[in-house]
Amino acid sequence: MNLHFWLETFNLWVVLVPLLLGYGVGRWLERRHYRSIREREQALRHVLALSTRYVPEGVVAGSAQLVTGGVVISSDYFKTFVAGFRKFFGGRFRGYETLLERARREALLRLKAQAEAAGSTLVIGVRFQSTTIAGSATPSVEIMAFGTALIGTRPPTPAA
């Protein structure tokens, strides 16, 4: 393995090394994120988020407050590389599906955490919004969840 060999194959390594790095690190981070999401979802089970526009029947609220939860999530080199092939062949792209699933769940968790901090256990009218914030080289996306947290509801924890 002399210097000449590395120079000759330089273009290959420029692709291969970030690819392996992106795969290894990306997958490790993704696993860790999923673990953390599950834990927090369990911990915040008592806060409900509904998409209904009206206060559910049988619930009386003292006050209401806007709560939001935003997250910016970025693709890794590996996912983007595979996505490049998907441009040709189409089909379901699982790499981005997990990426966006994590983003939505994280955004909802942050919304629930904000609601809990405001003393609410019921958020209604929850909506999601997404914004692309980086170019197509390594795409990033912002997912934001927002809703109306009802404070001082009776009964305090409706059902659940």
Partner 1 sequence: MTPPRLENRLPPEDLLERDDHPLRELAWLAGASLALLAVLVLVTGLSARWLAPRLPFKYEVALAERVFDDEKAVVTSADAAAARARRAALQALADRVAAVMALPPGMPVVVSDDPSDLVNAYATVGGRIHVFHGLLRKLDSEQALAALLAHEIAHVKHRHVAANMGHGLAVMLVLSVVMPEGAAQAAQGLLSSAAQLALLGYSRDAERQADSEALAASVALYGHAGGVATLFKVMPQAEDAPAGTAWLRSHPDTVERLAALRAAAAAKGAAMEGAVTALPGVLKALPAAGAPKS
Q: Which residues lie near partner 1 (CB under 8 A)?
A: 11, 23, 27, 30-31, 34, 37-38, 41-42, 45, 48-50, 56-59, 78-79, 81-82, 85-86, 88-89, 94-95, 97-98, 101, 105, 122, 158-160
Minimum CB separation from partner 1 for residue 157, in Å?
Answer: 9
Name the residue type at position 158.
P
Minimum CB separation from partner 1 for residue 108, in Å?
Answer: 9
Close Cβ partners of 105 (under 8 Å, ≥ 6 residues apart): 37, 41
Question: Of 36 and 131, which has the nearer Cβ to partner 1?
Answer: 36
Q: Tokens in use for 102? A: 């994590």
Minimum CB separation from partner 1 for residue 8, in Å?
Answer: 12
User: Of 109, 119, 78, 120, nearest to 96 (Cα)?
Assistant: 78
Minimum CB separation from partner 1 for residue 56, in Å?
Answer: 6
| Omega prior to 155 cis, within 30 of 0 | yes
Question: Of 144 and 150, which has the nearer Cβ to partner 1?
Answer: 150
What residues does 70 pair with on adjacent strands?
Answer: 144
Question: Of 108 and 144, which has the nearer Cβ to partner 1?
Answer: 108
Minimum CB separation from partner 1 for residue 102, in Å?
Answer: 8
| Residue 142: strand, helix, or coil | strand
Question: Of 24 and 62, which has the nearer Cβ to partner 1?
Answer: 24
Beta-sheet strand order (sheet of 63-74): 48-49, 120-132, 140-151, 63-74
Q: Look at strands 120-132 and 48-49 and give their pairing.
A: parallel
Question: Of 85 and 119, which has the nearer Cβ to partner 1?
Answer: 85
